[in-house]
Amino acid sequence: MPPPLALTVNGERRLLDDVPDSERLLDTIRWRLGLKGTKEGCRSGECGACTVLVDDRSTLSCLTLAHEVDGSTVTTIEGVARDPVGRTVQEMFARAGALQCGYCTPGFVLALVGLLKERGRAAPTEELLADLSGNLCRCTGYLSIARAVAMLPREGP
Amino acid sequence: MAPSFELVTPPSVEAAVAELAAGAPGEVAVLAGGTDLLFDLDSPRNPPRRVLSLRRLPWRTLDWNGPVLTVGSTLPLRALEEDAEVAARHPGLVQALRAVGGVPLRHRATLGGNLGRAAPASDLLPVLLALDAEVDLIGPTGARSLPVDRFLVGSRRTALAPGELIRSVRFPEPRPSAYLWQRVRPEHDISQVAVAAARSPTDGRWRIAVGGIPPRAVRLAEAEALLTSAVPPDSTVRSVAVRAAERLPIAADRRGSEEYRRHLLATLFERAVRQVAGSSAGGP
């Protein structure tokens, strides 16, 4: 059996025993940690619904082995409001009504939070939208998502 | 349910090579970023018994030595794409990087993975060919380097010897370059046809490579030789592009007919060459 898996998930340190070598981070998050906000969409890296932050970098949890991120910090949608950038993105999505069925929302929010952490708040809206191209919305609610991005405050850290 | 396997994470290059060399062919799969491998592992025809992770090896590097750029095989593509010097000196490489999946995927995907997996649709292999990139390998009998053109053998086939790993990729010099592609759905499909163009400022010669057409990305040597100046006349570019598109063996598949692919190849060829010529005309 592999050694225990150590992750800091949404600020909480977790030590997980008996995680199989072949387990995806997505399944660890959903089934082992019970955090169902992270969604499984295509399971092949095309839709972005399973996006989480690993050490502040947006990551497809469906194409990442859990043991490959051993020792890392993981942020899921449940923990996004702990962070000021995450809270701001969440508020803008709510204000813009940037969701229909909501299935793609956690992935979009975390992908955007990751981009803002990488590039800073001053990044132009068009570039942020282009960099969200890995996230799909099957309801095609893109206009309201784009509105949420455009509404982000451009000043501050 | 995906088949299970044992994940091995060697702490050193020596240990990784030994581990890989000890496995029978097909028994060990090499894991870099995993974005292609893990997709495959959900329903493999011949599931590997062990997966060898490269994450502890010191290969997440990016180094300039004069004009030479050396990229460690496990550096995430996003780090390469976000580097200001890479963007300034290898514009076509950055265009190709941005054609790969979305940002969350590029945070894990790697150059080494693209080479080792050798998918016919990889958006990086054509530009590696056009930039004359070299692949640095390390194996049980030592280190060697191969030009990408010799490293690629066919669809999903490379010149990697048993026990050999990709350590880094070297780009010999900055070149004006461009990478253009066409897809049915731009944001989540593979390219139907893609063209990389570059012109060496030292030997003055053009490199044109095409991707998206199985079995593998290829240079169009005959066409390259017909482009004889930094800014070839539009009529020359057009006729060379059309001729190249007529000559390349192209088969139809569900992403496009043979005829449409030839049309795309000629069009993208022409645009890519013009883009590179335009940057030569305007810059130093």
Query: Which residues of chain A lie closer than 8 angstroms to B102, CB-CB?
Result: 48, 111, 131-135
Q: HEC states along B1-62?
A: CCCCCEEECCCCHHHHHHHHHHCCCCCEEEECCCCCHHHHHCCCCCCCCEEEECCCCCCCCE
Q: HEC states along chain A?
A: CCCCEEEEECCEEEEECCCCCCCEHHHHHHHHCCCCCCCCCCCCCCCCCCEEEECCEEEEHHHCEHHHHCCCEEECHHHHHHCHHHHHHHHHHHHHCCCCCCCCHHHHHHHHHHHHHHHCCCCCHHHHHHHCCCCCCCCCCHHHHHHHHHCCCCCCC
Domain with CATH 3.30.390.50 in chain B: 177-282
pLDDT band at B186 (very low <50, low <70, confident <90, very high): confident
Tokens encoding B73: 């095989």
So where are chain A's domains?
Answer: 5-78, 82-150
Q: Does domain B6-53 have CATH number 2.40.50?
A: no
At B87-128, the pLDDT tens digits run 999 999 999 999 999 999 999 999 999 999 999 989 999 999
Q: Among residues A68, A39, A43, which one has the least CA distance to residue B1?
A: A43
Confidence at residue B1, expressed as pLDDT on a 0 to 100 scale: 54
The CA-atom distances, in angstroms, between A42 and each of A26, A62, A104, B182 are: 12, 9, 11, 23
Q: Which CATH number fits domain B62-171: 3.30.9.10, 1.10.10.10, 3.50.30.30, 3.30.465.10?
A: 3.30.465.10
CATH architecture for residues A82-150: Orthogonal Bundle (1.10)
Closest CA in chain B for residue A110: B104
- Torsion angles phi and psi, residue A44, rounded to 5: -140, 15
Q: Which CATH number fits domain A5-78: 3.30.360.10, 3.20.20.70, 3.10.450.50, 3.10.20.30?
A: 3.10.20.30
Interface test with B, best of A56, A60, A69 (most B CBs within 10 A): A60
Say yes or no for a CB contact (<8 Å) between B188 and A21: no
Q: Among residues B45, B52, B69, which one has the least CA distance to residue B15?
A: B52
Say yes or no for a CB contact (<8 Å) between A58 and B104: yes
pLDDT band at B255 (very low <50, low <70, confident <90, very high): confident
Query: Which residues of chain A lie closer than 8 angstroms to B48, CB-CB?
Result: none
Closest by Cβ to A64, choosing from B51, B108, B186? B108
Say yes or no for a CB contact (<8 Å) between B41 and A67: no
Confidence at residue B42, expressed as pLDDT on a 0 to 100 scale: 77
Q: Among residues B184, B189, B270, which one has the least CA distance to residue A134?
A: B189
At which residue do the structure tokens 């010799």 appear? B150
Task: Find residue B277's DSSP bridge partners.
Answer: none
Query: Which residues of chain A lie closer than 8 angstroms to B28, CB-CB?
Result: none
pLDDT band at B20 (very low <50, low <70, confident <90, very high): very high
Closest by Cβ to A22, choosing from B5, B82, B188? B5
Residue B235 and residue B213: Cα distance in Å, rounded?
26
For range B257-275, the mean pLDDT: 96
Pairing of strands B6-8, B50-53: parallel
What ipTM does this complex have? 0.96
Percent of chain B with pLDDT over 90: 84
Domain with CATH 3.30.43 in chain B: 6-53
Domain with CATH 3.30.465.10 in chain B: 62-171
At B202-221, the pLDDT tens digits run 999 999 999 998 899 999 99
**pLDDT tens, per residue, chain A with 157 residues:** 678 999 999 999 999 999 999 999 999 999 999 999 999 999 999 999 999 999 999 999 999 999 999 999 999 999 999 999 999 999 999 999 999 999 999 999 999 999 999 999 889 999 999 999 999 999 989 999 999 999 999 876 5
Tokens encoding B8: 């091995």
Strand order in the sheet with B134-139: B62-65, B68-72, B165-171, B134-139, B142-147
Query: Which residues of chain B lie closer than 8 angstroms to A60, CB-CB?
Result: 35, 104-105, 108
Q: Are B96 and B180 in contact (CB under 8 A)?
A: no
Largest CA distance in chain A: 49
At B36-92, the pLDDT tens digits run 999 888 776 778 999 999 999 999 999 999 999 999 999 999 999 999 999 999 999
Rounded to 5°, the CA angle B49-A39-B255 comes to: 70
Cβ partners under 8 Å of residue A17, min gap 6: A4
Residue B277 and residue A107: Cα distance in Å, rounded?
40
Query: Which residues of chain A lie closer than 8 angstroms to B9, CB-CB?
Result: 67
Task: Give yes or no for residue B283 having a pLDDT over 70.
Answer: no
Say yes or no for a CB contact (<8 Å) between A46 and B3: no
Cα pseudo-dihedral A46, A50, A53, A54, rounded to 10: -80
Q: Indicate left, alpha or beta for A2 from its phi (over 0: left) and psi (-120 to 50: alpha).
A: beta
Q: Which CATH number fits domain B177-282: 3.30.390.50, 3.40.640.10, 1.10.3720.10, 3.30.70.3420?
A: 3.30.390.50
- Torsion angles phi and psi, residue B41, rounded to 5: -70, -15
Distance from CA of A60 to the nearest CA of B (A): 6
